[in-house]
Structure 1
Amino acid sequence: MDIDISIVLMTLVNFFILVLILKHFFWEKIQLTIEERQNYVDEKLIKADEDSQKAKMYLLENQRILQSAKEEGKKITEKQKEKGNKIYQEIIDNANEEAKSLLERAKVEIQREKEKAEYEVKKQAVDLAVQLSIKALEENMDESKHRQLIGDFITKVGM
């Protein structure tokens, strides 16, 4: 294969002429377009970095808010638990006081009933003694009759 130098030279000359024509008419436009494109890409990269920083900042802020909400929730839960325990204790205390009050009233009522029963027994004993005295005065009694009346009296009194 033979290489023809004239063809190679002509091709090189044509290439350089083409490059000169392209450089003269299109080089600046191509350069401007490339620069615009490079600026556009740089702006998008900067904006992406800014957006990434904002997203990280928002993520940290959201985590802080979430943690704060969790702590506030714990505080509210603890307050409600304490309030519930306080109410529970108040109910228990009130129930104990009511039970003590009922017990005291029952004791007072029992004491009254006891005193009333004792009064009735004494009253009956006095009535029986009066009746016995009346019978003893009405009758002439000898000692056996007198003992019999006392025996009847003791039987009626229940001693």
Structure 2
Amino acid sequence: MKINPSTLIATIINFIILFVVLKYMFFDKVKAIIDERENLINEQLDNAEEEAEKARMLAIENERILKNAREEGKLITERHKQKAEKIYDEIVEEANQEAKIILERAKVEINREKEKVEYQLKKEAIDLAIELSKKVIEKNIDEEKNRELIGEFITKVGNS
């Protein structure tokens, strides 16, 4: 295949003319679109970096807030635990005091009942002594001897 120099020159001239026409008509517009797109991409990358930095800062802040919340939760729990222990101790103390009061009342009641029984026994003993003395008087008129017997009997019953 033989290359014709005139065709080659015409093709080169046509290419140059086409290149110049395209350069003045389209290259600037395409270059402007490419530059605009490049600027948009750079701007989005910058925004993404800023948002990533904000996200890191928020993550750090959230971690700090979470740590503070945990510490505060521990403090609150500890305070409530101390209050509960204090209330428990108060309830136990009140129960112990009530038990002491009940025991004291029971002791007083037992002493009253004991005194009541002793009084009843003495009364019955005296009644029996009187009955005995009546019988003795009926059988034996020696008053002095009877008084002595009754006194001894009352003394023995009183000491019992």
Q: Smaller-chain TM-score range?
A: 0.7 to 0.9
**Partner residue in 1 for 2:114:** 114
Name which of structure 1's ranges 121-130 and 45-54 shifts more when overlaid on structure 2: 121-130
Q: 2:90 matched to 1:90?
A: yes
Deviations 1:42-70 (A, max 9, x none): 11111111111112222222222222222
- Computed over aligned residues only, the root mean square deviation of the Cα atoms, in angstroms, reads 2.8
Partners of 2:4 and 2:87 lie apart in 1 by: 111
Matches within 5 A, 1:120-159: 120-140=120-140
Q: 2:30 matched to 1:30?
A: yes
Give the AA of the match of 2:7. I
Normalising by structure 2, report the TM-score: 0.76
Could you tell me how far 1:19 is from its partner in structure 2? 1.6
Q: Percent identity?
A: 54
Partners of 1:85 and 1:37 lie apart in 2 by: 70
**Partner residue in 1 for 2:53:** 53
Matches within 5 A, 1:38-77: 38-77=38-77
Could you tell me how far 1:103 is from its partner in structure 2? 0.9
Give the AA of the match of 1:49. E
- Bigger relative contact order (CA 8 A; separation at least 6): 1
Could you tell me how far 1:138 is from its partner in structure 2? 3.3
Structure 2 runs not aligned, ≥5 long: none
Give the AA of the match of 1:91. I
Partners of 1:130 and 1:44 lie apart in 2 by: 125
**Partner residue in 1 for 2:5:** 5
Deviations 1:20-41 (A, max 9, x none): 2222333333332222222111
SS of 2:2 mapped into structure 1: coil
Partners of 1:67 and 1:125 lie apart in 2 by: 85
Partners of 2:92 and 2:31 lie apart in 1 by: 89
Partners of 1:94 and 1:5 lie apart in 2 by: 123
Normalising by structure 1, report the TM-score: 0.76
Partners of 1:123 and 1:135 lie apart in 2 by: 18
Give the AA of the match of 2:113. E
Partners of 1:19 and 1:37 lie apart in 2 by: 24
